[in-house]
Structure 1
Amino acid sequence: MINLKQIGTATFLSLTFLVTTFAQENQELTQILNNLQVELVQPGTISTNGFEFGTSISPDSKELFFVKGISGFRRTVLVYSTWQDGYWSKPKIAPFSGQYRDGNPYHAKDGKGLYFTSSRPTSNPELGATNLWFVARNDQGWSEPELVKGAVNDKHEIVYPTVQADKTIHFVSWSRPGSKGGDIFVSKYENGTYTSPELVDELNTPASDADPEISPDGNYLYLTSQREGGLGHYDLYIFKKQKDGKWGKGINLGPKINSRNMDSDPILSPDGQTLYFSSDKLGEIAAGQDKFTEYDTLVESLDQIHNGLMNIYKVDLSSLLSYLDRS
């Protein structure tokens, strides 16, 4: 005879075990996130009191591209720095940038070129104001930029594209049909061209979701979002790929990375262990000053690196990834 009381007790104990295990795991995750060490990328050279964002690291880790511009993104120029004697060199303007509004640099995984978005003119009246371009690297340096062929470029904007080894492109769009106000799309590379972009449903919410980046092994995806439960304007999240191939529930990367301000542009180092991102976190002077009474104090606040303009940061995520790999 089946003992219903025993079944009830067993179920209760099982639920108690699951709740306790979840609480312990959640506590471990919280501790890992709270122990992350975030640092500015080479203050004074890469991160300055100007407006810097949107990095990309070359596959050999010897070249750093990023965007230098003015607040409001009305002027954006691609610049680059090289790794020399343990430091990043003084940035230079990319030879194919400086005239138009260029942004979102992303190194090809084979090291043979760079993808970027640009407002530069095209001969196709069917295209929008911002399109995806590719510039090849050759023995002399860089070739002339060319439009990326296929349905990934059309009358709708394409922002923050990231390109995997198989040339699959993830990007964000606000105007493309199906978007609810900033959503993640994917376009696959098939038969030498790009397919029509499709929504990645499990990543998108009614809020703005943007800036997708996938780890080299394809197991993790990062993005920035204004979804409910965040700490501020835009927060960074990590997603783990599930057995069915879809992305699981997003995990907020916590208060060491995220702030009340904009935290965005997640990009990984070639080994996938270090996350580079952009943020307009305020410094102690600007954030803690209720009222400015001295002009010199005001100038000091506005002239510091943490003055509310975007800067470039990095953080070692190896401890978090180790936890997620076994969870």
Structure 2
Amino acid sequence: MLKTTYCFLIATGSIFATSSIMAKEIATELQGPYLGQTPPGKTAKVFAPDLLSTQKDREYTISFTPDLKELYFTRMDADTNKWWTMTYKQRNNRWYGSILAPRVGRPTLSPDGNTLHLGNKYIGRTDNGWSQVKSLGPMFDNKDWGIMRLSSSSSGTYILDDYKNGDVLRISEVQNGVRQAPKPLPAHINTGKWNAHPFIAPDDSYIIWDGERTEGFGDTDLYISFRKSDGSWGKALNLGPTVNTGAGEAGGYISPDGKYFFFNRTTNTGNGDIYWIDSKFIKTLKSQVYTKD
């Protein structure tokens, strides 16, 4: 990987920037997919070390557009303790980085790449970049709820967390064109000390989230539940030592091409980086579940 010295400039103006006030883009020398990084194998490794994942700051929650030419993530500046939403964009096979805006929620792109979910808010793709921050409506703007991360599938299903009410996960589906009120996922999902930061597969076939349970690997672990043929959710499966360690793993995400699993790992020193690993282990887990069933 070519290491590039770079500096991000802070966006000004409204709380979320449109293209007219977006921070200046800084060019890198990186080319090719996934910031020109060498793909991982069966062992998780830091994604874009010393560039996207830094030794000093804390990086979290990565998300890609379907064509893999844009990525979004969050970074906490270690000097100011302020969170920012960051982006890299590829043009003519070269990557450009910038700060998009102060963080609002944990950014997660919709499968079509046209909506960037921000907790109970979102921004939509426009001809000039992104819209201003919008509300998802009264169904999600409940002040008694605490939504950190909301993930959507291609069918419009939402999976969201709620840190104000026992750290539970909720689901909101679209039935006959009508958005349904979020309801808690079953008890075998919402168990343990807490559950948060969910991700739903574009085809609704599984959900991934992080939580803390007594049978875990020591701190926050990542879990998966596969959807059964009758629409119900299967048991919560720990992703195992392939991903989970004695450190804190969270913020799971599958790349749009299905090839890689991204997640955050935070050590006991408080530093957090984004890791990636070949996603084939998830197919293995699924085959084991259906073999047993």
How well do the aligned residues superpose, as a CA RMSD in angstroms? Answer: 2.5
Helix, strand or coil for the counterpart of 2:140?
coil
1:2-41 matches, cutoff 5 A: 36-41=42-47
Rg bigger for which structure? 1
Whichever residue aligns with residue 262 of structure 1, its letter is G
Alignment correspondent of 2:139: 151
1:266 touches 1:275 (CA, 8 Å); kept in 2?
A: yes
Q: Contact 1:76–1:103 (CA<8 Å) still a contact in 2?
A: no
Letter in 1 for 2:206: Y
Partner of 1:120: none
Q: Pick the structure with more helix per residue.
A: 1
Q: Answer yes or no: is the 8 Å Cα contact 2:224–2:236 preserved in 1.
A: yes
Calculate the TM-score normalised by the size of structure 2.
0.75
Task: Please give the alpha-carbon distance, in whole angstroms, between the structure 2 residues aligned to 1:152 and 1:263.
Answer: 27
2:86 aligns with: 79
* Deviation sequence 1:251-282 (CA, Å, 0-9, x none): 22222311212100001111333111001146
Task: Measure how far apart 1:192 and its partner are.
Answer: 7.0
- For residues 107-126 of structure 1, the C-alpha deviation after alignment (integer angstroms, 9 at most, x for no partner) is 12222221113xxxxxxxxx
Distance (whole Å) between structure 2 residues aligned to residue 220 and residue 192 of structure 1: 22
Structure 1 stretches of 4+ moved >3 Å:
83-87, 189-195
Aligned residue pairs, count: 245
Is this contact kept in 2: 1:149–1:194, CA < 8 A? Answer: no
The structure-2 alpha-carbon separation of the partners of 1:86 and 1:247, relative to structure 1 and needing over 3 Å to count, comes to farther
Instruction: Determine the C-alpha separation between the residues in 1 that align with 2:161 and 2:115.
Output: 21
Q: Could you tell me the TM-score, scaled by structure 1's length?
A: 0.68
1:111 to 107, 110, 113: 113
For residues 74 and 154 of structure 1, the distance between their equivalents in structure 2, rounded to whole angstroms, comes to 27
Distance (Å, rounded) in 2 between the aligned partners of 1:318 and 1:260: 23
- State the percentage of identical aligned residues: 27
SS of 2:149's partner is: strand
d(CA) in 2 for partners of 1:247, 1:74: 38
Q: Give unpaired runs (5+ residues) of structure 1.
A: 1-34, 118-131, 283-306
Consecutive unaligned residues of structure 2, counting only runs of 5 or more, are 1-40
Q: 1:228 to 1:245 in 2, by over 3 A?
A: farther
Specify which structure has the higher proportion of strand.
Answer: 2
Alignment of 1:62-73 (within 5 A): 62-70=69-77
Change (3 A) 1:268 1:161: same
Deviations 1:177-234 (A, max 9, x none): xxxx311111234677743321001311042111221223322221111012100210
Q: Indicate the residue corresponding to 1:168 in structure 2.
A: 157
Q: How does 1:1-327 map to 2 (within 5 A)?
A: 36-49=42-55, 50-70=57-77, 75-83=82-90, 89=95, 91-94=97-100, 97-98=101-102, 101-117=103-119, 132-155=120-143, 156-176=145-165, 181-189=166-174, 194-201=179-186, 202-281=188-267, 308-322=270-284, 324-325=286-287, 327=291
TM superposition shift of 1:171: 0.8
